[in-house]
Amino acid sequence: MAPSRNGGSGRIKNTGMKNILIVDDDPVICSLLKSFLSLKKYHIEYATNGIDAINTVVKGQVKIVIMDMNVHGMNGVELIKRIHGINPALKIIAMSGDTSFDKLPPELKATIPFIAKPFRLQDIEKLIVNLFPGPEVV
């Protein structure tokens, strides 16, 4: 199991920044999102598989999860259900390059925004802002 990434500390620092977990097994996507969102003053952690994502969510400091629907170790529906089992209020943005979002149960489709790959970085930022219209996420 590969460790989740956040610059080496092993956990998200509570710095007053907005804490986001990116879950994707593609290191290019993780790096791209981390670079872009860090410039926008978000604190980013990423996980490359479902188990690491769950372990990060358990720590309790993540406010938003941006997740690929197809990651190693767990399918997207299972990961969403496990995340919401830990923290039902946690906001999730689903992304995929295929039609896996269509497989979601209707109750999840109604509450989880979806973005198709490839996506524009500004569209991800817009989804985050729409989830938290107030001044702070933390």
Q: What CATH number is given to the structural domain containing 73?
A: 3.40.50.2300
Do 20 and 128 meet the contact criterion of CB atoms below 8 Å apart?
yes
Q: What is the pLDDT of residues 67-115, one digit of tens each?
A: 999 888 888 889 999 999 999 999 999 998 876 667 677 877 888 998 9
Residue 99 lies in a domain: yes
* Domain assignment of residue 2, yes or no: no
User: Tokens representing 63?
Assistant: 């406010």
Is 8 domain-assigned? no
- Which residue, among 49, 45, 7, has the nearest Cα to 24 in the 3D structure? 49
pLDDT in tens, 14-49: 445 689 999 999 999 999 999 999 999 999 999 999
Structural element, H or E, at residue 57 = helix 50-58
* Residue numbers of the domain that contains 107: 18-131
Is there a domain that residue 11 lies in? no
Sheet holding 18-23, edge to edge: 42-47, 18-23, 64-68, 91-96, 114-116
Helices (H) and strands (E) in the chain, counts: 5, 7
In a domain, 30, yes or no: yes
Burial of 46 (0-12, 13-18, 19+ CB in 10 A): buried
Mean per-residue pLDDT, 48-77: 93
Asked whether residue 48 is domain-assigned, the answer is yes
Please count the structural domains in the chain.
1
Q: What is the pLDDT of residue 2?
A: 43
* Residue in 52, 84, 56 with CA at minimum distance from that of residue 71: 52
* pLDDT higher than threshold 80 for residue 8: no
Task: Tell me the C-alpha distance between 123 and 71, whole Å.
Answer: 21
**Six-digit token pair at 66?**
């941006």
Q: Tell me which residue of 121, 108, 112, 2 sits closest to 53, measured CA to CA.
A: 2
| Residue 113 domain flag | yes
Q: Report pLDDT for 24.
A: 96
